Amino acid sequence: MTYERNYNLLNNKFKELFIPTLLASIAGNFAVLADALLISMFMVPLNLFVIQSVGPLVAFVNVIYWLIGFGGSILCTHARAEFDSEKGNYLFTVSLISVILIGLAISLLGFLFPDFFMQLLCASNQFKPLISQYFNLYIIGIPFLCYFAVLAYFIKTDDFIKLQFRTFLLCNAINVILDVVFIKFLNFGIAGAGLATTLGNIIAAIYITTYFFNSKATLKLVKVRFFKSMRYLVDISKAGFSSASIPLYESVKLLFINILIGGILGEVGLAAFNMCFNTLYFVGIFILGTAQSILPIVAVYYAEEDFQGIDYVTKISLKIALLFGIFFTILFVVFPQSILFIFSVTDPLQIPIILNAVRIFSLCFLGYSISLLYIFYAPSVEYYKLANIIAILEGLILPIIFAYLFGYFWGVDGIWISFSITEVGTVLFIYIYSKYVSKKTNGMYSGFFINKQLRDKRRKEYTVKGNKEDVLILSKEINSYFDDSNLSLVIEQMLFYIIDINDGLDWIDIIVREKDDSFVI
């Protein structure tokens, strides 16, 4: 009987995380889409320029909770993988306190200096009153959004995936219901959309706080010291910056491209860009769900130096990302009319502009899927600099350069094309860099994901069922291969202990690596 590794454990864990994480990603990112859809349905579709104008602020708020939530949860996962619960709790506490204070500061600045924000978000005095209606109510919910989003990142590392999903679902369900009530029945207009979003954030924040009263919760709030907290916050920011920089660069990119498109096509162009951007946002939801499913797995396997496991899960994730990218590209290139239906566009003057924009813009989805997956993967294996380079290339430098360059030569069509060229350039950079690293390290790091290849004297990977009968047979197999009875006895005792303290085990993976003067299990 042989017990070669079969990756059943990894497959089961990926499946266990994928669907709930994907649903949480859909629920967690649906609010912006819901606002856009309902504004189009109950108001004039051109009012989408309000959402597009406030987009940079929304993206900046996303930066804050992505930076702290993603970075803190990655470091917390590493700490927990090393059984350092004290460090994990400290990271948890610092992250929550920091994001609440920052969220409050943003809201306060919005109340004290509304004219500054209006000038930044909209250059036209004609549209500022309408935008300020949404803005004044949206900023109230920012601290609540930051709090529950960061807490949602952390509780997933504690296996509270269902609570995370239910929180996001509740937030968006309330947002959608109140959008209908406030806009359609109470005639609050664009202010109703802002109020609905804020109330959804507040109720979601209250609901997710039930985590602290659950007896199975293992993350605890602890007493923190200022200077130590600042050091931890720097580390959290480093770990989370590459992913958090996506909305940061997005906010800057939107400012530039909004000006460019608005100057060429005016309100119609901004509305078309909003619809294109929402299709990209929709695709991003599915890629984020895929990327965030692998994060806890890759982070733990990286800490354990299980690079074969990392290679296996990244290949699965890449296949899923490619399938999503291909599906949505075909969908919106072949059926761009679906956007007209979704956003209730009926004006014959707007229809050809929007159809043309969506059809060309959709060609970027495949490359975008690969780039986004990589930006989230890289920090989980501590490739922070690479992740930051990819994020700034894909999110800021290339899109602005290509949009202005192609826009100069081909007008608005050139702007839509520039997004696809951006993604091709980003994927090409990753491919060339991975080849460079492989050559520089003589193959120690190889493949598209630049995974490390261990060069042990001898190495074996096993999968055994969670029962003692199979463990005894495996022990003999290990002894036969490594010719070391002490090694096989140690592994046998370790596995017996694991089985004794865990109920209902299905599979256990064991990796044995022989170094010059020791074994690593």
Other C-beta atoms within 10 Å of 49: how many? 24
By DSSP bridging, strand 451-452 and strand 458-465 are unpaired
d(CA 31, CA 8): 36
pLDDT recorded at residue 430: 95
> Model pTM?
0.73
Residue with tokens 């987009």: 55
Predicted confidence (pLDDT) at residue 372 exceeds the cutoff of 80 = yes
Cα 509 → chain centroid:
28
Instruction: Please report, as a single letter, which amino acid is at residue 257.
Output: I
Model pLDDT for residues 205-221, shown as the tens digit of each residue: 999 999 999 999 999 99
Query: Residue 132: what pLDDT?
Result: 87
Please determine, for residue 32, whether its predicted confidence score (pLDDT) is greater than 70: no
Half-sphere exposure of 342 (CA within 13 A, CB side): 22
Per the structure block, which two tokens stand in for 466? Answer: 């969670």
A 10 A CB-CB count for 107 gives 19
Q: Could you say which DSSP state residue 4 is in?
A: B
Look at strands 445-446 and 451-452 and give their pairing. antiparallel
pLDDT on residue 48: 62
Q: How confident is the model at residue 45 (pLDDT cuts 50, 70, 90)?
A: low
The rounded distance, in Å, linking the Cα atoms of 425 and 433 is 12
Report, as an integer, the average pLDDT of 174-195: 88
Amino acid at 395: G
Over range 447-468, report the average pLDDT.
85
- Tokens 């790091």 locate to 445
**Cβ partners under 8 Å of residue 430, min gap 6:** 370, 371, 374, 390, 448
- Whole-number Å distance between alpha carbons of 355 and 361: 10
In angstroms, what is the C-alpha Rg of the chain?
Answer: 25
Give the pLDDT confidence of 56-88 residue by residue, as tens digits.
788 788 888 888 998 899 899 888 878 889 999
State residue 367's pLDDT score.
Answer: 94
Q: Flag the least confident range among 39-48, 88-97, 294-303.
A: 39-48
How far the first Cα of the chain sits from its last, in Å, is 21
Contact 250, 333 (CB under 8 A): no
Inform me whether the pLDDT recorded for 433 exceeds 90: yes
Cβ neighbours of residue 186 closer than 8 Å, sequence gap 6 or more: 192
Name, in order, each residue with C-beta under 8 angstroms of 53's C-beta and a sequence gap of 6 or more: 121, 122, 127, 131, 258, 270
User: Tokens 């499946």 sit at which residue?
Assistant: 15
Handedness of CA 215, 13, 235, 59 (dihedral sign): negative
**Lowest-pLDDT range, 113-117, 202-206, 264-268?**
264-268
| pLDDT digit string, tens, across residues 381-397 | 888 889 889 989 998 89
Kindly report the average pLDDT of the chain as a whole number. 85
Q: Is the pLDDT of residue 123 over 80?
A: no
Average of per-residue pLDDT across 97-104: 96
Whether the Cβ atoms of residue 76 and residue 88 lie closer than 8 Å to each other = yes
What pLDDT was estimated at residue 249? 80
Predicted pLDDT at 29: 61
Other beta carbons within 10 angstroms of residue 8's beta carbon come to 13
Written as six digits, the tokens of 379 are 């920090």
**pLDDT for the residue numbered 143:** 96
pLDDT for the residue numbered 382: 82
> Given this model, what pLDDT does residue 218 score?
93
Residue 89: predicted pLDDT: 95
Cα–Cα distances in angstroms (integers) from residue 292 to residues 17, 92, 154, 296, in the given order: 9, 18, 12, 8
Whole-number Å distance between alpha carbons of 424 and 6: 35
Identify the band that residue 31 occupies on the pLDDT scale cut at 50, 70 and 90. low
pLDDT, mean of residues 326-350:
82
Cα–Cα distance for residue pair 474/491, rounded to 1 Å: 9
Compute the CA torsion angle 225, 230, 233, 238 (nearest 10 deg). -150
pLDDT at 299: 80
- Average pLDDT score over residue span 443-447: 89
The pLDDT of residue 212 is: 96
| Sheet hosting strand 507-514, strand order edge to edge | 458-465, 507-514, 519-520
3-state class of 225 per DSSP? coil
Number of residues that make up the chain: 521
3-state secondary structure of 462: strand
CA atoms within 13 A on the CB side of 483: 1
Does residue 319 contact residue 313 with C-beta atoms inside 8 Å?
A: no
* CB neighbour class for 228 (10 Å; exposed up to 12, middle 13-18, buried from 19): exposed
- Residue 250 pLDDT > 80: no
pLDDT of residue 56: 76
pLDDT tens digit sequence for 46-59: 566 666 677 778 87
DSSP string computed for 347-382: -TTTHHHHHHHHHHHGGGHHHHHHHHHHHHHHHHTT
Q: Which two tokens stand for residue 330?
A: 């075909």
| DSSP one-letter code for 392 | H
Residue of 191, 65, 60 whose CA lies nearest to 120? 60
